[in-house]
Amino acid sequence: MKAAAVLALSVLSLVGAAGALSHPGIGAPAQTYRVTVEGVRVDVLVTENRRVVRGLTAADFELRDSGVAQTIESVSFEDVPVSVMLVLDTSASVRGTPLEHLKQAATALVDRLRPDDRAALMTFSGTVSLACDWTSDTGRLRAAIGYVEAGGATALYDATFSALMLRDPSPGRPLVLVFSDAGDTSSWLPGARVVELAQRQDAVVYGVTLQNPNRPALEYLADFTSGLQPALPNVVPGAFSQPFVERLAQESGGRVLAAEKSDQIQPIFETIIAEFRTRYVLTYMPRGVEAAGWHPLRVTIRNRSGLVTARPGYLR
């Protein structure tokens, strides 16, 4: 069976499991999806005047989990291998020059992978396809990128959900890079379920958007419903007033970068992989906090100025 068909069936089977997920502030059935967390990893970007701050140690950070100060047991910087999931919108609106620029950008990112890094390629239109499974073989990745074609609708939510679920089995720092030029039109899953899944994982999501005057904005439905999915029964209208990709990046500690023209996609992809390598990974064992539920996080740096970008919390 082709990868696209296998993944489509996987997404459909996940819809049932996702229906039991809960979301902070949304009444929902009891959880049936759990992630057992022994140690917690928090991916952190520290900048000052838009420059990365290097050389920080555990003593330079203060981390609070649910308001309780935690002991940071390790800090990693740059030396941890990266696992990049490329999630590319290949709907009809990117045909032609935008698709060629997108493929060039993806290839440029692959060319910047190190020997111990790994990557996978997922594409989506009306369906979701795993074009290349996790590998460190850059030749395979380039070949898969070369075969990419455009056409169809936009299953943005299904694709990002699948990307978060299909984690690299090898240890590495998980980065999910999502490119899209429009809002969702054909997913089975509502976007709120994808946001919750991101809250349960340590993957960092970076979004890349492309302005397209002929398509709707990246999100135009306040509750993140798609063309096929009815509104969630307990969602308060306007509860999700920001764009979906922006919300996903915020909840995971990532960023969204916008391209006005398709020839700007490549330098943005290159910026993302370079920036991601300069992020700190803080590891700690939660102490003095409840085992389950929503855990708000606050990460600050001591005795110096700087902007800290990290996930606002996690679900257990």
Q: What is the pLDDT of residue 37?
A: 47
161-189 pLDDT, tens digit per residue, is: 999 999 999 988 999 999 998 788 889 98
Percent of the chain with pLDDT over 90: 66
CA distance to 63, 159, 194, 251, per residue, from 68 (Å): 8, 36, 28, 20
Q: Specify the 3-state DSSP secondary structure of 208.
A: strand
Q: How far is CA 4 from CA 15, 133, 138, 166, in A?
A: 17, 12, 21, 14
Give the residue from 116, 102, 130, 98 showing the smallest Cα distance to 10.
130
What pLDDT digit, counting tens, does each position of 260-271 carry?
999 999 999 999
Amino acid at residue number 125: S
Predicted local distance difference test score (pLDDT) of residue 240: 44
Kindly tell me the number of DSSP H helices and DSSP E strands found in the chain.
7, 15
Q: What share of the chain is helix, strand, coil (3-state, %, to 5)?
A: 30, 30, 45
- What pTM was estimated for this model as a whole? 0.83
- What SS3 class is residue 268? helix
Q: Which residues contact 84 (CB under 8 A, 6 or more apart)?
A: 109, 113, 117, 118, 119, 120, 175, 176, 177, 273
CA distances from 229 to 83, 223, 232 (A): 31, 11, 8
